[in-house]
Amino acid sequence: GHGTYPGSDFHHNGDLKDYFEPWEINLGKIYGTMDDLRLESPRVQEKYIAMTKALIASTDVDGFRVDTPMQVPLSFFKAWAPAVRDFAKSLGKDRFGMFGEFYVTPARYATMTGRGRDNTMYGTEKFIEGEATLKGGIVYSYYWYTFTAVVYGQAELADGLPLAYEEEAGMMDIFDPMSNRSEYSMWNFCNNHDNWRMQSMTGTAQMRMCLAVISFWPGVPLHYAGDEQDLNTPGSALDGWAREELSVSMAWRAVRTTPEGNPADRDNFDMTSSSYRYVQCLNAMRRAYFGNFGSE
pTM of the model: 0.88
The predicted structure's pLDDT at residue 296: 44
Say if CB 222 and CB 187 are below 8 A apart: yes
Non-local CB neighbours of 262 within 8 Å, separated by 6+ positions: 233, 252, 253, 255, 256
Measured distance CA(196)–CA(238) in Å, rounded: 10
pLDDT reported for residue 4: 57
Task: State the amino acid at position 124 in one-letter form.
Answer: T
CB within 8 Å of 178: residues ≥ 6 apart: 85, 89, 94, 95, 96
User: What are 113's strand-pairing partners?
Assistant: 134
pLDDT at 24: 85
Partners of 102 in beta bridges: 139
Distance CA 25, CA 28 (A): 6
Q: Rounded distance, CA 146 to CA 162, Å?
A: 12
Task: Answer for the pair 24, 7: CB distance below 8 angstroms, yes or no.
Answer: no
* The pLDDT value given to residue 173: 95
Total Cβ atoms within 10 A of residue 79: 21
- Helices 140-151 and 160-169: crossing angle, nearest 10°? 170
pLDDT value at residue 75: 95
175 sits in which H/E element: strand 175-176
Tell me the mean pLDDT per 10 residues along the chain, length 296.
70 85 83 86 96 98 94 95 96 95 92 96 96 94 92 91 92 90 92 91 94 94 94 83 83 86 90 96 93 57
* DSSP 8-state assignment for residue 269: -
User: 129 exposed, middle or buried (CB, 10 Å; 0-12, 13-18, 19+)?
Assistant: exposed
